[in-house]
Amino acid sequence: MSSASDPLAALGALPGVAESVESVRKAVDRVYGHRVMRRRSGEITSEAALRGARGSAALSGADWALEEVRRRTDFSADAEALTVGAALRLTAEAGQLLSIWRQSPMRVLARLHLVASGTAVAGDVVGRPRLAGEPVDEPLVDLPLPDADEVAGRLDGLARVVIAGGSAPALVTAAVVHGELLALRPFASYNGLVARASERIVLINSGLDPKAICPAEVGHAEQGAEAYLEAFKGYVSGTAEGMAAWIAHCGRAVELGARESTAVCEALQRGAA
């Protein structure tokens, strides 16, 4: 397929991207090859989901300890609790939307925002891209906000790319989906959570991480908000160097997620978890 009909293919040829793709594949293969995965993969998937949700919430300003996330049942007390609850719901919902993603990514994005909002966001702003003049609440990203017309056009372009598929590696596609949604901030709220949940969907749906045991959200949080934003600015710049840096950052996040699940496997093997 030519780069004209496969616009993400050229990104895979950027300096350093092939190395990132290969490094991610090796990290994912290692955790999938762990002996515990043959017997207890469901437990690893569940734990990865919990840790991924915690990581995504941390980047949106709710940096709770893992055990606090694990024990809590009420996520309606304050803004941080609402964020953690939204992240948990999104992680659970992502696995239910895999079959829809390649046919109707916009429908999936609308559903993700609806699920994230829960009862915390009222009115007709839920589950649809924002209109002209509508404010956006995004605690992490303070870069200039694209206007509603640009958002609509770029979302349409993103949806076309997803539906068309192509030859780009899963890491590249996941990084672009994540970066584009974070850049556009198309919804009135929870855009960071939705962007990271969408990255998760691409990584699972592509076959790179079919059991959802390599939570990139863990890796994004582990690298820290400052590094996350610096890499994201590279994406927004649109330069070859910036795009490659963002893809590499996302690749490292997947590797760290794989490392986290490897540690869980080893703890289970020792009988310590």
Instruction: Look at residue 150 and tell me whether its pLDDT is greater than 90.
Output: yes
Q: What is the pLDDT of residues 24-44, one digit of tens each?
A: 999 999 999 999 998 999 999
Convert the pLDDT of each residue in 167-191 to its tens digit. 999 999 999 999 999 999 999 999 9
pLDDT at position 119 over 80? no
What pLDDT sits at residue 183? 97
Please say whether the dihedral angle defined by the alpha carbons of residues 236, 240, 243 and 246, taken in this order, is positive or negative: negative
State the average pLDDT for the chain. 93
Q: Could you report the per-residue pLDDT of 194-226, keeping only the tens digit for each?
A: 999 999 999 999 999 999 999 999 999 999 999
Q: What is the model's pLDDT at position 1?
A: 34
Name the pLDDT band for 273 (thresholds 50, 70, 90).
very low
Contacts of 162 (CB under 8 A, 6+ apart): 101, 102, 105, 173, 177
Query: Over 90: is that where the pLDDT of 13 sits?
Result: no
Residue 71 has pLDDT above 50, yes or no: yes
Mean pLDDT of 149-157: 97
Residue count of the chain: 273
What residue has token string 């959802």?
Answer: 212
pLDDT bucket at 121, cuts 50 / 70 / 90 = low
Q: Categorize the per-residue pLDDT at 118 as very low, low, confident or very high, splitting at 50, 70 and 90.
A: confident
User: Is the CB of residue 109 less than 8 Å from the CB of residue 194?
Assistant: yes
Residue pLDDT, tens place only, 75-102 = 987 999 999 999 999 999 999 999 999 9
Mean pLDDT of 233-250: 97
Looking at residue 143, its amino acid is: L
